[in-house]
Amino acid sequence: MGTRASALALVQADLAIAHLRRVRPDLDAEVVEISTKGDRDKTTPFTELGTKAIFAHELQRALLDDEIDVAVHSLKDLTEREPDGLVIASVPERADPRDVLVSREGLVLDALPSGAVIGTSSVRREALLREIRPDVKTAPLRGNVDTRLRKVAEGVVDAAVLASAGLDRLGFAGRIAERLDATRMLPAIGQGALALEARAADQRVVKLCRALADPAAEVTTTAERALLAGLGVGCRTPVAGHATLTDGRLTLAGLVGRPDASEMIRETVTGAPGDAAALGAELAKRLLARGADRILRELEV
């Protein structure tokens, strides 16, 4: 099982193996740590690294080269389409998809003083923060979860926005000052979900991974990834997408905006869970028709 070498990635790989062993107690599994472009370059902003797959490409290459049998990803690190020969074998039960605020003084977002500096490496989070709190500042913040938490504690920044799932999985839930409402701080596409990726032709492994598939997680992430595919975005445009299942209905909210929050286009669609992919495609069309196509042409150059 291939994974990035970060503490969070290793916890996620161990979690996947533990779940697989519930299905196959005799499973012989080894974790292989693989360094990715995003791990090696800890200073260049994501928008300048040139590809959304900076945390996935080397893992996918190892799969194609038969060096590993399964790759464990944070689903939000994957591009909207799988490389030829690979397949997302399953999406296990999804963790909390929301963003969270960690602050040095334990203050929630609305209580931070004017001029406070919030660290983030995400253009989506930066744009949403500027929309919600135009009086605060944002600053680049790269590194593993523990590194970013330390920079908050040391006063490098006053606060930081991170993914709830990462802090929960690493046992840092106590550091969370606020879990940000998903309708206000729309999450990244696939946030909180893991993806087990395998070679499409290796049906033995695919079948094993299917045992961990969670229907709700697969439906919601299918809709979100269809939205991403329909938009065809890169890494320079603030894009968000969050699907929820309530009373047998699937609701998908989407956003395309500008990094300075001067233009933020939102749309929502609702339909049957069985139409998840079609709903994502429809939402993309609506956003593009309302001006997202113009924003993408300007930013994704």
Q: Where are the domains of the chain?
A: 1-92+193-213, 99-179, 214-301
76 annotated active-site:
yes
pLDDT at res. 234: 76
Distance CA 209, CA 185 (A): 32
CATH architecture for the domain at 214-301? 2-Layer Sandwich (3.30)
Q: Active-site residue among 69, 77, 96, 99? A: 77
**179 tagged catalytic:** no
CB 38 within 8 A of CB 56: no
Q: CA torsion, points 130, 135, 138, 144, in degrees to nearest 10?
A: -90
- Active-site residue 297, yes or no? no
- Of the listed 52, 94, 124, 258, which one is catalytic? 124
Pairwise CA distance, residues 57 & 60, whole Å: 5
CB 85 within 8 A of CB 34: no
Report the 10 Å Cβ neighbour count for 95.
19
Is 209 in the active site?
Answer: no
User: What would the CATH number be for the domain defined by 1-92+193-213?
Assistant: 3.40.190.10
Homologous superfamily assigned to 99-179: Periplasmic binding protein-like II (3.40.190.10)
Q: Please state, in angstroms and rounded to a whole number, the distance separating the CA atoms of residues 60 and 81.
A: 12
Q: Is the dihedral of CA 81, 83, 86, 91 positive or negative?
A: negative
For residue 110, the tally of other CB atoms under 10 A from its CB is 9
Catalytic one among 94, 98, 130, 148?
148
Find the catalytic residue in 142, 285, 286, 290: 142
Identify whether 77 is a catalytic site residue: yes
* Tokens linked to 201: 């032709």
Q: How many CB atoms neighbour CB 137 within 10 A?
A: 15
Marked catalytic residue, from 125, 130, 151, 236: 125
Q: Do domains 1-92+193-213 and 214-301 have the same CATH topology?
A: no
Helix-helix angle 203-210:7-23, to 10 degrees: 90
Integer Cα distance of 242 and 76 in angstroms:
12
| pTM, entire model | 0.93
Closest CA to 170 of 187, 149, 153: 149
Q: What angle do CA 254, 255, 259 make, to 5 degrees?
A: 160
What per-residue confidence (pLDDT) applies to 55? 84
Active-site residue, selected from the candidate residues 52, 76, 94, 258: 76
DSSP 8-state code for residue 89 = E
Walk along the chain (301 residues) and give the pLDDT tens digit of each residue.
Answer: 999 999 999 999 999 999 999 999 999 999 999 988 766 665 565 555 555 678 899 999 999 999 999 999 999 999 888 999 999 999 999 999 999 999 999 999 999 999 999 999 899 999 999 999 999 999 999 889 999 999 999 999 999 999 999 999 999 999 999 999 999 999 999 999 999 999 999 999 999 999 999 999 999 999 999 999 999 987 889 999 999 999 999 999 999 999 999 999 999 999 999 999 999 999 999 999 999 999 999 998 6
pLDDT at residue 235 in the model: 81
Q: Which residues contact 37 (CB under 8 A, 6 or more apart)?
A: 49, 51, 54, 55, 57, 58
Q: Is 266 a catalytic residue?
A: no
- Residue 54: predicted pLDDT: 83
Active-site residue (options: 96, 169, 199, 235):
235
Task: For residue 83, give both structure tokens.
Answer: 């490389």
Query: What is the structure's pLDDT at 44?
Result: 61
